[in-house]
Amino acid sequence: MATEIFDGLTVVQEAVDATGWRARLRVETTSRAFAGHFEGQPILPGVAHLVIVRHALRAMGGASATLRALPSVRFREVVRPGDVLDVSVRPPDAEGRSRFDVRIGDTLAVTGVAHGGDDG
């Protein structure tokens, strides 16, 4: 069974190394994330990308790692059912900032900076 980050977001490829977390994700047309968002014009809620970043921080930092702050995020392009996302989350720099981006093919969909931390 394919791994999902949330309902209908399937992990096609995922890798973690010294350069960070990279993944190819498929947004299934059947994802409940599109239910009611919006009728006849389904788009992925922007916060879905932030759930992906939380998942990446945990993949890089361990089970207790979590998302603590988002100094800046820009949503540049909407994501629709069936889109394939290429996501990159870099390891934290000296100030704890992890830069991330989400692409749909050659199109930059989301960019941002996140701070991770331990849960609790």
Partner 1 sequence: MAERDVPEGLIPHRGPARLVQTILDAAGTDVLVCGGWIPAESAFAVGGRAPAVIALELAAQAAAVQQALAGKAGAAVAPGYLVAVRAAIVRVDDVAANVPLVATVRRTGQAGPLATYDVTVTGPGGREILTATLSTHAGD
Contacts to partner 1 by CB under 8 A = 6-8, 31-33, 35-39, 41, 43, 45-48, 50-51, 54, 66-75, 78, 112, 119-120
Closest to 83 (Cα-Cα) out of 12, 1, 3, 2: 12
Closest approach, Cβ 106 to partner 1, in A, equals 21
Closest approach, Cβ 18 to partner 1, in A, equals 26
Query: How far separated are the first and last CA of the chain, in Å rounded?
Result: 31
Closest approach, Cβ 6 to partner 1, in A, equals 5
Closest approach, Cβ 69 to partner 1, in A, equals 5
Residues 6+ apart with CB under 8 A from 49: 73, 75, 102, 109, 110, 112
Nearer to partner 1, 54 or 90 (CB): 54
Nearer to partner 1, 17 or 30 (CB): 30
Cα–Cα distance between 70 and 113 in angstroms, integer?
Answer: 6
Owner of token pair 């299934």: 28
